[in-house]
């Protein structure tokens, strides 16, 4: 479904996602489940986030259930950087703890993707796309749900080694949670950024080694 990033309007995109016959399948009961997400830079309670992931056949499946009563989404697609101003979920994978090589997958509430390779510190390569990545998204009663899957071979390439059920990989799990209509609440506020671990910087930043932790594969 990588072609979805070229659809011009959000309305048209939603129709394509709903009609596509290659919808990813959500992880089952044997999935890894992570719910301990928080605002690392704010004392406010974070909206609920649940991440699930599981290996199914030769693919790694994942999902995010995001509580969000003020979903910020761009009405028009202007390329992958459109996601910079939107609510979204994010998965980063690193080959090493120094982040010499790491990879970022960001997905908005319509299933649109911004993926890129990177190296520390904040050296981004926007030409990289995750091979074989499939994504979809839908609204829920209290927010939105994102589902995706990718070949294990692609995960191998991102973490720099063959992976199997039971292994751990270095990963980051995040959300951008924007609200309101002012620029200061759409990326500049401490309560715009949600993570499963607390990174060390005093100001919001996920592109640092302390934002990553070991994620077990099942």
- Please tell me the predicted confidence (pLDDT) of residue 184: 83
Q: Is the bond preceding residue 173 a cis peptide, omega within 30 degrees? A: no
- Please tell me the predicted confidence (pLDDT) of residue 27: 54
CATH 3.40.50.880 fits 2-216, yes or no: no
- Evaluated on CA atoms 165, 118, 143, 21, the torsion sign reads negative
| Residue ranges per structural domain of the chain | 2-216
- Please tell me the predicted confidence (pLDDT) of residue 159: 98
- Please tell me the predicted confidence (pLDDT) of residue 57: 95
Distance CA 66, CA 48 (A): 6
8 A C-beta contact, residue 87 and residue 195 = no
pLDDT in 10s for each residue of the chain, 218 residues: 333 332 333 333 333 333 333 344 455 568 999 999 999 999 999 999 999 999 999 999 999 999 999 999 999 999 999 999 999 999 999 999 999 999 999 999 999 999 999 999 999 999 999 999 999 999 999 999 999 999 999 999 999 999 999 999 999 999 999 999 888 899 899 999 999 999 999 999 999 999 999 999 99
| Nearest one of 111, 145, 99 to 19, comparing CA atoms | 111
pTM of the model: 0.88
């Amino acid at each position: 479904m990588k072609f979805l990033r070229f659809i011009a309007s959000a309305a048209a995109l939603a129709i394509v996602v709903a009609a596509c016959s290659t919808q990813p399948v959500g992880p089952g009961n044997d999935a890894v489940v992570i719910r301990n997400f928080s605002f690392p830079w704010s004392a406010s309670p974070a909206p609920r986030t649940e991440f699930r992931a599981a290996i199914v056949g030769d693919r790694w499946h994942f999902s995010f259930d995001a509580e969000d009563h003020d979903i910020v989404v761009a009405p028009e697609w202007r390329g992958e950087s459109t996601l910079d101003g939107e609510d979204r979920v994010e998965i980063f994978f690193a080959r090493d703890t120094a982040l010499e090589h790491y990879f970022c997958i960001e997905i908005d509430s319509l299933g649109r993707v911004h993926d890129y390779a990177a190296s520390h510190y904040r050296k981004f390569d926007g030409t990289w796309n995750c091979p074989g990545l499939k994504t979809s998204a839908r609204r829920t009663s209290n927010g939105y749900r994102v589902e995706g899957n990718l070949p294990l071979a692609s995960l191998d390439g991102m973490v720099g080694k063959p992976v199997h059920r039971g292994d751990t990989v270095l990963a980051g799990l995040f959300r951008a949670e924007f609200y309101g209509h002012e620029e200061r609440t759409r990326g500049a506020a401490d309560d715009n950024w949600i993570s499963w671990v607390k990174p060390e910087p005093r100001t919001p930043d996920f592109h640092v080694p302390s934002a990553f932790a070991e994620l077990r594969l099942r």
